[in-house]
Amino acid sequence: MGPVTPADLSRCVVRAVRCAVADGELAAGAAVPERVVVERTRPGGVGDYATPVAFQVAKAARCAPRDVADVLARRLGAEPGIERVEVTGAGFLNFVLPAPSAAAVITDVIVRDIAIRDVRGGAAHVVPADESGLGLRERVVRRSVLRLLCVQGGVADGTLLDSPAGAPVAPGAPVAPVAKRDGDVVARYGADAACWAMLAVPARETPSFSDALLHQGEANEFFRVRYAHARSRALVRNAHQLGFHQEPGDVDDAPALLRLLADHPLVLEAAAHHRAPERLVRSLVELADALLDFQYRVLPQGDEKPSAAHRARLALAEAAGTVLAGGLALLGMDAPERL
């Protein structure tokens, strides 16, 4: 199975509450929530995800949140994909998940890339129905939000699927325009670099432009992301020249890269839900940096012969490049094969 997501955990918790009430472990008056908020554990916390649902249920059940949490923890600890559940404080449930396997992460990347390719293939239709009167940045933000929602299955023909009135897609906050002092940013920096700058900060903030967008160096985050993608493609080409191909397998020396890839679906979900493309921008920068650090361990060195470990690392590097290309596409930018 693929990596467990907060949505999966939310459904598990709702089911656990329902079953605990049905079996008499929780009072019959306990309210079964329709949806449970599950979030990443904060720094210094326990496990990977946490939820305060016990406090919500305890109020209606007229018992201590800690008692509710203990009941739910016993049930949730037996769910597939959950390593263990710990109760902390007055009743917080903390989920510890197994470390993601490279093979499962890569499979998930491939499946999601198909959906992103579908969005790219239908790019002509992924345009808000009415852009009249919109400024440059608002058009860029709206189109990116629309692509993100399309990948999540939330829009069609530029309108929200869950809106009976067919409400047009809109960012989550008013969009600050490009400052007049910056002039024609597309002409000066190029469409992709200008787009990156417009999406790199929350919509309500005025984007910043400088000649750093044109520099091909590590100080330029936009360049680093595209360069990391190009490096992943170069690794694949170089491996083929050495006579070996990628093959998913265990990779023990790339925990940061694996975690970022495993979390990418959550990033896309959050970026779409909050109408916040800047969340995807930040994630792509982190992923690019992790890949650029990992790249030196992919190919054989010196007299080394290609091994299963090299093939597995190559598969992981290629998956990271695929995610970078897909992320750039959702933001409306190209991912060159060579830089």
Each residue's pLDDT tens digit in the chain (339 positions)? 556 777 789 999 999 999 999 999 988 777 788 888 888 887 778 888 999 999 989 888 888 999 999 999 999 999 998 999 999 999 999 999 887 788 888 888 887 777 777 666 554 445 555 667 789 999 999 999 989 988 887 654 444 444 444 444 556 568 999 999 999 999 999 999 999 999 999 999 999 999 999 999 999 999 999 999 999 999 999 999 999 999 999 998 998 999 899 888 888 888 988 899 999 999 999 999 999 999 999 999 999 999 999 999 999 999 999 999 999 999 999 999 998
What pairing do the DSSP bridges indicate for beta strands 159-160 and 155-156? antiparallel
Same domain, 281 and 207: yes
168-171 contacts: CB < 8 A, separation 24 or more? Answer: 168/128, 168/129, 168/130, 169/128, 169/142, 169/145, 170/142, 170/145, 170/275, 171/138, 171/141, 171/142, 171/145, 171/203, 171/275
309 and 272 in one domain? Answer: yes
Q: Read off the tokens for 240.
A: 């083929």
Residues 211 and 335 in one domain: yes
The whole domain housing 62 covers 6-96
**Does residue 28 sit within a domain?**
yes
pTM: 0.78
pLDDT for res 119: 64
| Paired residues of 92 in beta bridges | 88
Among candidate residues 96, 124, 144, the one where a domain is terminated: 96
* Domain closes at, from 45, 73, 96: 96
- For residues 122 and 198, membership in a common domain is answered with yes
Q: What is the CATH number of the domain that holds 219?
A: 1.10.730.10
Q: What pLDDT was estimated at residue 166?
A: 42
pLDDT score for 122: 53
- Say whether both 16 and 149 belong to one domain: no
pLDDT of residue 91: 94
Residues 72, 104, single domain; the answer is no
| Angle CA 238–228–339, to nearest 5 | 70
- Looking at the domain assignment, is residue 1 inside a domain? no
Q: Do both 87 and 196 map to the same domain?
A: no
168 inside domain: yes
Residue 188, token pair as written in the block: 């000066």
* 277 inside domain: yes
120 plus 69 within the same structural domain = no
119 in a domain, yes or no? yes
User: Do both 92 and 122 map to the same domain?
Assistant: no
**Is residue 317 one of the residues assigned to a domain?**
yes
Please indicate, yes or no, if residue 39 is contained in any of the structural domains: yes
What per-residue confidence (pLDDT) applies to 32? 84
Per the domain annotation, does 312 fall within a domain?
yes
Q: What residues have CB less than 8 Å from 46, skipping those under 6 apart?
A: 86, 88, 94, 96
Clarify whether residues 270 and 159 are in a common domain: yes
Domain boundary among 64, 96, 128: 96
CATH number of 41's domain: 3.30.1360.70
Looking at the structure, tell me whether residues 72 and 150 fall in a common domain.
no
Counting the structural domains of the chain, the total is 2
Q: Assess whether 258 and 303 both reside in one domain.
A: yes
